[in-house]
Structures are given as C-alpha cells and as structure tokens.
Amino acid sequence: MQIAIQNVTPALTGAAEAAAIRGVRVLSLIPPMTQLNTPYPSTAYLTGFLRKQGVPAFQADLALELVLALLSRDGLARLLDQCAELPKRQRSPTVKAFLAQYERYLATITPTIAFLQGRDPTMAHRIASRSFLPEGPRFASLDAYVDPDDPYGGDPLAWAFGALGLQDRARHLATLYLNDLADVLRDAVDPRFEFVRYAESLAQSQPTFEPLAEALAAPANLVDATLAELTLATIGKHQPDLVLLSAPFPGNVYAAFRIAQTIKAAHPHIRIALGGGFVNTELRELKEARVFDYFDFVTLDSGERPLLALLAHLAGSRPVDRLVRSYVRGDDGAVRYLNHPEADVPFEDWGAPTWDGLPQDRYLSLLDMLNPMHRLWSDGRWNKLTIAHGCYWKKCSFCDVSLDYIARYETASAKVLVDRIEAVIAETGQTGFHFVDEAAPPKMLRALAEELLARGVAISWWGNIRFEKSFTPELCQLLADSGCIAVSGGLEVASDRLLKLMKKGVSVDQVARVTHGFTQAGILVHAYLMYGFPTQTVQDTVDALEYVRQLFAAGCIQSGFFHRFACTVHSPVGLHPEEYGVTLEPLPAISFATNDVGFHDPTGADHDALGRALNKALYNYMHGIALDDDVRGWFEGQAPRSTVRTDFIERALSAIS
C-alpha cells in the first residue's frame, strides 16, 4: 500500500532524526474490546500524526475484527463444537437455547451482521417480524414493556418505535440476538468475555502482575485462538518494525498482552510498545519486569513526543537514555523509567486524525437501550475528535487532576479545528462527530460553532461539557444551529453540599437552568451521576434522586447514568483524604497497576443497596416511567422522606422566564 506523505514537519524533532524516523514502519492496533459502532480514536490520531512526519504508518482495529470473526458462520461452527463438548449438566439456559436453535443462528448471522453494518437495510422487515431471528433468554427483557391495557394491543416495542420505526425496531431486536450470542461465548468459552470490557478484572488496580500472568500462561481458548489468527494476518499484511498497542481501559489489557504474546512468538524482531489511558492512570509505578516479556516499551501520557523519541531510537539516531516518558527493561533485568526533558508536541500541531486502514463500512450500529440519548454511544458511525487537550476546570476532587490528560490544558484555533473536520469528512464521507474532550470549553465551542456556520460546514455533533452558566440559552441555540444534537455533563451527586465539597463549580438549580436551555434548543442532555461520595448519607442519596426525578419530569435531561464513586490515588480525595472526612485503606506493595484505593467513610451508608435503587429508578425514568411516584418506593426497606421541595426544579426554571 502506498501512503501519500505530506506536511512533513522536521522542526518537531530535528533534521537528522526527522529523516531517520521515516525508515521505520509503524502499525497501531486497537485491541479488544472497545466500541463496535465506531473506531476508538487513539490510533487514528497517532497514525495521522506520524504520516504528517513522513513515517509509513498503518492501523487496524482488532477489536472489531475479533467480534466479526466470532459472529460469522465459521465462528458459530467453532462455537458449536465448544458447546457440544460441555457436559449436559454444565450447559446454561443460554447454551441450551443456542444448541436447540443452532441451524437458525447459522442461517441468520450473515444477513443480521450485514443489516447492523448498514449494508442490507431491507432485512429490517424480516428481523422486525419476530419470526426470522432465533430468540434466546435476552429477549425475555421485552416482556418488561408489555402493558395489557396499552393502546398498541400488547406489542412490547410499539410504545418506543410506533408503527413506522422499522429500522430501529429491527436494530434493537438484532442487538438482543447478538447479546444472546455473547452470553453463549461467556458461558461456553470464556467467563470473562464481554463485547466492551473483556477480562477487565485481570488488570484493573491489580497491584501484582500475577493474575494476568496466570491468564496469559493458560491454554488459548476459542477467543484467544481467533485473536491470534487475526493478529498474525495483520502483521503479515503490514510487515511493521514497530507495533503500537493502545489500551484505553482495563478491559483492553488482557487482549493487548495476548496480541503482544502472539507477535513475540512468531516475529521476535518486531518491537512492541504499550500506551493509552490504562497505562497513563494505572502503570505509573510500574516495577514488574515480566511486562517486558511482552512489550519492549511502555509509554506514559500523550504519545506524540514519546513516539518521536522512540522512533529516533529505533532508527539509530538517539540513545535509549534519551527516550521520553518511557519504561524499558535494563540490561540488569530491572525496570527503568526514562524521561529526557523535551516539550510536548503542541495540540495544534497534532494534525487531523486519519481513519485510513479502518474498515468504516464494517462497524455495527447497535441499539441496546430504547432511549434517544443513550443510544448515541452504540449506534451510528461517529468521527471522534478532540477540541482541546486536558480540562480547563481541573478542580473536581474525584478526578485525576494531577495527571497529564487532565492537567495540561491546550486548545487549537477554531480555524484549525474546522480544517480537521473538513479533512475527516473528505476522507470518511461521514459528517457525524463525537467530541471526546474531558469537558469542551464554552469559549471554544462558541468559536467552533461560528466558524462552522461561517464556512457553511454542515455536521451533526455531540460531546461532553460542564453545566456552567456560560451556556446561556443564546449559546445553546448557536450550538444547535451549528449541528449540536446532544451534550453530556456531570451533575454527579445532585446535592449542593456535596457539589461544593467536590469543587464541581455548579449547583443543582444552575444545572436545571443550563440543561433546560439545551433542551429548549432541541439538544438532548445526558447527566453523569454519582453515589457513594465521601460523607454522602442515605438522606443525601434520597434527595439526589428526587432532584433527578424532577429534572426528568421537567424535560431538562433525557438520559443519565449512576456510577459508584471510586477513590483514585491521583485525585484530591486520594491525595488529601482528611479534607473529605475519610481514611484510606493501606495500599499493598505495588509492582504493576494501581488506581482505585479503598477508604473508610464514617457515615456507614450501604451504598451497594442504594446503588441498586438508584439504577432501577434511573432505568425507569429514561423510559418515561414513574416520574410522578415518590422516590422512596425505589429503596429497600425504610427510606427517609426527601427534604427537597417537590417544585424545586420548577422554581429554578421560573427564574429564567
């Protein structure tokens, strides 16, 4: 494959190194598992940046390739063999349903995948009929929607899709079908299997490498063997000198190590580097030498500068001691951290990401939740871009504000950003964008919107923000005019006392007014919510749910997600627990990963039970159910009456009119 080389910028390295690095072939890989509807952007940014430097760079999405291989006629045949080998007493209901309906699965898998890829939309008619796909245990969830008195005659999906929502109805049914197959893989092949978070527990905050080492030493199962085949085929196609594996989440780490293990066994001359969000947050105290049986280099934080230094080293123009933010194993067998002082590549010089090499027509648009906002994460092919590096606020006490991905805030001009948008549209033919910032700054969003409108660039976009007062109704309308369809932001604990303690910089009534401004402009709103924050009581939790209920009832937010507070070693709570009324549990000796740290909160609330209630309530609110009910009904046992006025949000909104 020939690569067009343009915009070479030797000033970022120096003339000698700039020339040398162009002789190193680089392959960037997305390891399983990430989103299936759109590529994860890390390899696209690195590949685009490297090509800007004149480096022959390629990329592949092994996460997508693995799922497509498993969910194929050949993959199902291999899965059948695995299921048949299980003793009958060990076969779960899901496995039994698969075996009983195997011929139907085999006949339907190819057209269903083609439909979810958008290549065969007419298949929606047969899928929506409920007579085409085999239905396993996942389809039982549809019974939750049946109301014998409803005007649709008991059709469990009609309330969501009506008479004409054929494509969405079929996509939801096809997603349930794939989830059934994922359950079969989990029950018959690998209990750690997930479409998104694969073997997450093997890596997340594991102080030692032992659990991961044991898993990697175990015989390869069907998933492992399939991934190895795909890895070797990709290596054979691109013949790289250096392979970059980006592990953004703990759920990517096991597969990243399996990929590296496969490459080392078959092609020991190829050098391999590991980076990404997991590394940046959890491997900052890496001492485990066995990691380097799989990887030659482990790099921290933004990869552009470390990668330029690494390429120069591999090209022979830079000694190993001048690597930047990189771990290596020294000649004595000990792990060394090398960080030659060099300025990071400015965000404005990163260039546009490229999706060349990623199979844009093979991603799967899934519809697992019947909520118009929530679906954006799994449905549709979105070009992921960053408006700014880091966070302009960087004060929230639960956040990793001490780390580079938050602490180093840089922006690019609106002109540069729209140039990148136009370049991506020209390459992909897709005009949907997901801005994946920690929190897109209002000032930059205004400038971006004005530049898009001035240049007549028509896109659809959504992204993460802070619900701050800068988002006036006028700005919300401007963003909508520029193509904004949705925003997500942190309401977190929905308690003014706790919001102040966590230094969030917003209040509940302010969030109500800002979100109302977005919805009035036709923009969907998703709220990130939190429970279990230090000193949060049962009363705080009941009051928070009442605020959330009122926000849904008033149409201020359309979607949300409650997650349990986790104290990390890099956050203000982890660094200064005494300021938040908690004591930390002692950390074990760390040689591998560390991020989450246990703590003791003297309030003694049962946050596990509270979390079950919150998530059940939220699921119903997102489907428009029980918005007038007393929130105490969601909690187990006795719960205190909410102290929040039942018209709190209504009063907050009346202040705008």
Domain ranges of the chain: 10-66+201-349, 68-195, 369-650
Task: Give the whole-angstrom CA distance, residue 545 versus residue 549.
Answer: 6
Secondary structure of residue 565 in the 3-state scheme:
coil
Examine the pLDDT at 395 and tell me if it is beyond 80: yes
> Which has more confidence, 438 or 104?
104
Segment of 4-13, 111-120, 140-149 carrying the highest mean pLDDT:
111-120
CA contacts within 13 A on the Cβ side of 206: 20
Examine the pLDDT at 554 and tell me if it is beyond 70: yes
Write out pLDDT tens, residues 605-625: 899 999 999 999 999 999 899
Task: Give the whole-angstrom CA distance, residue 185 versus residue 198.
Answer: 12
What integer best gives the mean pLDDT of the chain?
A: 92
Task: Give the whole-angstrom CA distance, residue 129 versus residue 300.
Answer: 51
pLDDT at 159: 55
Element containing residue 529 per DSSP (H, E) = strand 524-531
Hey, CA dihedral for 491, 616, 556, 476, is it positive or negative? positive
Report CA-CA distances (Å) from 342 to 88, 305, 345, 407, 427.
61, 8, 9, 17, 33
Phi/psi for 259 (5° steps) reads -60, -50
pLDDT at 156: 59
- For 566, the token pair is 């986790």
Locate all alpha helices (DSSP H) within 239-377, ordered by sequence: 253-266, 277-282, 304-314
> Which has more confidence, 35 or 414?
414
pLDDT at 195: 87
Which amino acid belongs to residue 188? Answer: A
Cis, peptide link before residue 33, omega less than 30° from 0: yes
Q: What's the whole-model pTM score?
A: 0.92
Poorest-pLDDT segment among 106-110, 250-254, 510-514, 601-605: 601-605
Taking phi over 0 as left and psi of -120 to 50 as alpha, with beta for the rest, 321 belongs to alpha
The CATH code of the domain at 369-650 is 3.80.30
DSSP 181: H
Rg (CA), the chain: 25
Write out pLDDT tens, residues 426-456: 999 999 999 999 999 999 999 999 999 999 9
How does 472-487 read in b/e, with b if 16+ C-beta sit within 10 Å? eeebbbbbbebbbbbb
pLDDT at 192: 92
Output the CA torsion 395→400→403→407 (10° steps): -20
> Which has more confidence, 199 or 323?
323
Write out pLDDT tens, residues 204-223: 789 999 999 999 999 999 99
Write out pLDDT tens, residues 235-278: 999 999 999 999 999 999 999 999 999 999 999 999 999 999 99
- For 531, the token pair is 């429970």
pLDDT at 143: 66
For residue 642, how far is the Cα from the chain centroid? 34
pLDDT at 15: 79
Hey, CA dihedral for 476, 409, 493, 144, is it positive or negative? positive
Query: 10 Å Cβ neighbour count for 545?
Result: 27
Q: What angle do CA 428, 431, 432 make, to 5 degrees?
A: 110
The confidence band for 152, taking pLDDT boundaries of 50, 70 and 90, is very low
pLDDT at 374: 87
Q: What angle do CA 349, 352, 354 make, to 5 degrees?
A: 140
The confidence band for 9, taking pLDDT boundaries of 50, 70 and 90, is very low
Locate all alpha helices (DSSP H) within 285-437, ordered by sequence: 304-314, 404-407, 414-428
Task: Give the whole-angstrom CA distance, residue 293 versus residue 543.
Answer: 52
Which amino acid belongs to residue 441? Answer: P
Phi/psi for 150 (5° steps) reads -75, 155
Write out pLDDT tens, residues 43-78: 999 999 999 999 999 999 999 999 999 999 999 999
List all residues 6 or more positions away from 109 whose beta carbon is below 8 Å from its beta carbon.
71, 72, 73, 76
CATH (one of 2.30.38.10, 1.10.10.10, 3.40.50.280, 1.10.3720.10) for 10-66+201-349? 3.40.50.280
- Mean of pLDDT values over 15-21: 85
The confidence band for 144, taking pLDDT boundaries of 50, 70 and 90, is low
Burial of 375 per CB tally in 10 Å (0-12, 13-18, 19+): buried
Is residue 544 within 8 A of residue 622, CB to CB? The reply is no
Which amino acid belongs to residue 542? Answer: V
Task: Give the whole-angstrom CA distance, residue 121 versus residue 127.
Answer: 10
**Helix, strand, coil proportions of the chain in percent (round to 5)?**
45, 10, 40
Which amino acid belongs to residue 564? Answer: R
Is residue 372 within 8 A of residue 353, CB to CB? The reply is no
pLDDT at 158: 61
3-state secondary structure 474-492: HHHHHHHHCCEEEEEEEEE
DSSP 293: G
- Mean of pLDDT values over 313-323: 95
Q: What share of the chain in percent tops pLDDT 70?
A: 94
Q: What share of the chain in percent tops pLDDT 90?
A: 85
Examine the pLDDT at 16 and tell me if it is beyond 60: yes
Write out pLDDT tens, residues 320-363: 999 999 999 999 999 999 999 999 999 999 999 999 999 999 99
pLDDT at 120: 96
